[in-house]
Structure formats: C-alpha cells, structure tokens
A and B are shown apart, each in its own frame.
Chain A
Amino acid sequence: EDQVTQSPEALRLQEGESSSLNCSYTVSGLRGLFWYRQDPGKGPEFLFTLYSAGEEKEKERLKATLTKKESFLHITAPKPEDSATYLCAVQPGYALNFGKGTSLLVTP
C-alpha cells in the first residue's frame, strides 16, 4: 500500500533559523512527488514537483530534494510569512496521496 509519512508533525523556528522537513514514502511506481503549502482556511498551494532521485528545485527560501525513499524541503533563513502547513504528496497513478503535513511556525 502506498504510504506517505511526514516529520516532524510540528516545527517552531526562530526567524533566520534554517531547517528541513522530511517526507518518507513507499509507493509502487512513482510518477511524481509534490510539495504544497497550505495556509489556514485556504486550499493547498502548489510549490514543487520532483520526478526522479537526485532532482532538486528551488523557490525563494525553499529547496526541495528527492531520493528513492524520501524528500526533503529545506527552508533557509525562514521568515514569519513562511509559517504554514507543508504537505507532501506522491503520485503513483492519476491521484495524489498526501501525507498529513508539517505545521511550521516561524517566530520573529
């Protein structure tokens, strides 16, 4: 059965304190791994898609990496506006299977 596990469940950082979020997955035939950001009261917002091990993508303070078993979302020098829930999803077929997310709080 396809599974996506995200850790930690919650993370509190000081502004400027870099860290990484983890997404471990087991899936038969990965078509893609996705990262989304979700703000309270809103729908998930697409960040990145990674397709093969070794691939990396960056956007502002965020960098996503992928191995055969896990993906990391690295946050460099975060700001309070980066506070949100970050969701990881795998696509074995047509649908996305989501993890439960990491709730990130960045304090000034």
Chain B
Amino acid sequence: DAGVIQSPRHEVTEMGQEVTLRCKPISGHNSLFWYRQTMMRGLELLIYFNNNVPIDDSGMPEDRFSAKMPNASFSTLKIQPSEPRDSAVYFCASSLSTGEGYTFGSGTRLTVV
C-alpha cells in the first residue's frame, strides 16, 4: 500500500495566483480530511469528506478556499486567489471509518510570496 499520496510536495507561488493541491487517499478508505499546519496554530481541520460528500467545511478559512472529491480516489484543495498568510503545510489524511486513527500524507508545503 503506497499510503496517502499528496502532490506537489512543495509549491511556491505569487500572491493572487491560483493554487491546487492534490490528494489520493488509501484505497478503501471512506473518510478524507484536509488539515493545515502552522507553527502558531498547529494542525487545523479544514474540511471532512465521507463517501466523497463534504460533511463539514466549517474550518475552511474563507471563500478563497474550496475542496472537491469527484471520486473515491482523488481530492483537491484549491486556493484562489492565494495570499501570503496562506503559507503553511497542507496535509491530507484518510481513514477507513471515523472511529479510527487517520493515515496522513507527507504534506504540501505552500509558500505564497
């Protein structure tokens, strides 16, 4: 099992540009989570999908952020337009059920200049 796969690993973009982060969860997992990690705030949940349906997006900071899960094997997190304060490490995680621990991907380090 290749685990949760995220791409790209690093992204540097200019303020105002659109950024798309990608995630492939573990096959068979039905829950997918997007988290953001910063030194100041630690790991924060952005959005949770169950069976490809967004269940809770209350952690999405503002309308500039959007997430999709078109099928069980792929999810995207898009920021448009990006701002310097969006700079962080973004993690995707998946689980078999909501009662068990997650498996995290290696993250995407986003830098907005």
The answer on a CB contact under 8 Å between B101 and A95 is no
State how many angstroms separate the Cβ of B104 from the closest Cβ of chain A.
3
Mark out the residues of chain B between 60 and 113 whose CB falls within 8 Å of any chain A CB in the assembled complex: 91, 93, 98-107
Of the four ranges (under 10, 10 to 19, 20 to 34, 35 or more), the interface on chain B belongs to 20 to 34
Number of A-B contacts (CB under 8 A): 49
Residues of chain B contacted by A43 (CB below 8 angstroms): 4, 91, 93, 104-107
Contacts A46-B101, A49-B100, A87-B43; is A94 near B31 (CB within 8 Å)? yes
Residues of chain B contacted by A99 (CB below 8 angstroms): 42
CB nearest to A101 among chain B residues: B42
Residues of chain A contacted by B43 (CB below 8 angstroms): 44, 87, 89, 98
**Candidate in B4, B102, B107 with the most chain A CB atoms within 10 angstroms:** B102
State how many angstroms separate the Cβ of A85 from the closest Cβ of chain B.
10
Contacts A32-B99, A45-B104, A46-B102; is A98 near B42 (CB within 8 Å)? yes
Residues of chain B contacted by A41 (CB below 8 angstroms): 106
The answer on a CB contact under 8 Å between A31 and B42 is no
Does residue A100 face the partner (Cβ distance < 8 Å to B)? yes
Contacts A31-B99, A43-B91, A100-B42; is A94 near B107 (CB within 8 Å)? no
A99 to B42, CA, bound (A): 7
Cβ proximity bits A80-108 to B, threshold 8 Å, 1 near / 0 not: 00000001010101111111110000000
The answer on a CB contact under 8 Å between A46 and B103 is yes
Q: Give 10 new A-B contacts, CB below 8 A, not counting A32-B99, A44-B91, A94-B55.
A: A31-B99, A41-B106, A42-B106, A43-B106, A45-B104, A46-B103, A91-B99, A95-B56, A96-B33, A97-B45
Residues of B within 8 A of A (CB): 4, 31, 33, 42-43, 45, 48, 50, 55-56, 91, 93, 98-107
Residues of A within 8 A of B (CB): 31-32, 34, 36, 41-46, 49, 87, 89, 91, 93-101
